[in-house]
Amino acid sequence: MQEGSRTLVLGSTSRYRRELLQRLGVPFDVAAPEVDETPLAGERPAELAKRLALAKARAVAARFPQAVVIGSDQVADLDGESLGKPGNHDNAVAQLNRMSGKSVIFQTALAVVCAETGFEQLDLAAVRVQFRRLGAEEIEAYLRKEEPYDCAGSAKSEGLGIALLEAIDNDDPTALVGLPLIRTCRMIRAAGVKVL
């Protein structure tokens, strides 16, 4: 840790978020947020992502009050319906069939909290992804090769999943992978963590 900089904790067990945060070269710890991720009745995808990101950051900050804690959550938004992690092959096939030829918004929420100072910020990166029309054989081949069952929307744009897409439109290139690093840098600096 650099002098004058607060300890940073990633409130997530996602290996994707951990790998992204490592890019910044800032030392950090990882803690499981232990938050119920069940959507509330009628909750829109963006609101679900924001609520969960903040709940994760607050839960971990309660255990590490002096640290700056990052919480994040991503929800795929298909015509206003939340699509989470498929969890298995059959669910992934169903998700990709539904998203075939459609525009999906991946809502990636980011919360940064420091309980000791009262610092709390929340932001949302909305990434519009246009899926190609996908055939059953393509979907099956992709899923067998990449097994993206732990990814919202069943596709990894940072891997072979890019072949399923026609376009990605966003303002924070790592947001689709699960942690918008431009926003992360801005928010953790504001909370007292030195990035450079």
Is 18 contained in some domain? yes
pTM, 2 dp:
0.92
pLDDT at res. 4: 57
SS3 label, residue 155: coil
pLDDT at res. 2: 43
Residue with tokens 């609520």: 51
Is 81 contained in some domain? yes
Show contacts of 11-17: CB within 8 Å, 24+ apart.
11/56, 11/57, 11/59, 11/60, 11/61, 11/69, 11/70, 11/71, 12/56, 12/70, 12/71, 12/72, 14/72, 14/150, 14/178, 16/151, 16/177, 16/178, 16/179, 17/72, 17/178, 17/179
Is 59 contained in some domain? yes
Beta bridge partners of 82: 77
pLDDT at res. 24: 97
Is 134 contained in some domain? yes
> Could you tell me the mean pLDDT of each successive run of 10 residues in the chain, 196 residues long?
73 95 97 95 96 98 98 96 94 97 97 98 98 97 96 92 96 94 98 93
Is 2 contained in some domain? no
pLDDT at res. 6: 87
Q: How many domains does the chain have?
A: 1
Q: Are 68 and 191 in contact (CB under 8 A)?
A: yes
The active-site residue out of 29, 73, 79, 169 is 73
**Structural domain span for residue 34:** 8-191
Is 123 contained in some domain? yes
Is 196 contained in some domain? no
What CATH number does the domain containing 139 carry?
Answer: 3.90.950.10
73 is catalytic: yes
Is 125 contained in some domain? yes
185 CB contacts (<8 Å, ≥6 apart)?
24, 195
